[in-house]
Amino acid sequence: MRKTYIGELEEVILLTVAILQEEAYGVAIGLHMEQQLNRKLSISAIHATLHRLSKKGYVSSSMGGATAERGGRRKRYFKVTTAGCRVLNEIQDARNLLWSQVPSNALTT
């Protein structure tokens, strides 16, 4: 089976979706990334990345109910799929393997 690789932004957004669970929608993802990583992304960049993750089968989405605070518009919520969980676990395992091989004095300044 051919592995599909994801980029760093896809990885971070996929992790954020996993963290936010039922509250994972575009604006919330952006706010969480800004608060936790001091990384500000446009909503367009977030949605483009979510679209790519969806095409790869790593997230699924559903529409929430309309709310008065949003002028009757609905939010699109995202959820990590089984394939998304698998790829996140593979990435974590690979990173942990590499980090475990870094000599203790290699990153000192």
Over the stretch 86-102, which tens digit does the pLDDT of each residue have?
Answer: 999 999 999 999 999 99
Pairing of strands 59-66, 74-80: antiparallel
Q: Give residue-wise pLDDT tens across range 46-84.
A: 999 999 999 999 999 999 876 766 666 788 999 999 999
Choose among 17, 8, 36, 31: nearest CA to 76.
Answer: 17
- Residue 59 three-state SS: strand
pLDDT confidence of 1, banded at 50, 70, 90? very low
Q: Please, are residues 42 and 26 in contact by the beta-carbon 8 Å criterion? A: no
Domain assignments of the chain as residue spans, ordered by start: 8-100
Q: Give residue-wise pLDDT tens across range 24-37.
A: 999 999 999 999 99
What's phi and psi for 67, nearest 5 deg?
-130, 150
Q: Does the domain formed by 8-100 have CATH 3.40.50.1110?
A: no
**Helix, strand, coil percent content, the chain, rounded in steps of 5:** 60, 15, 30
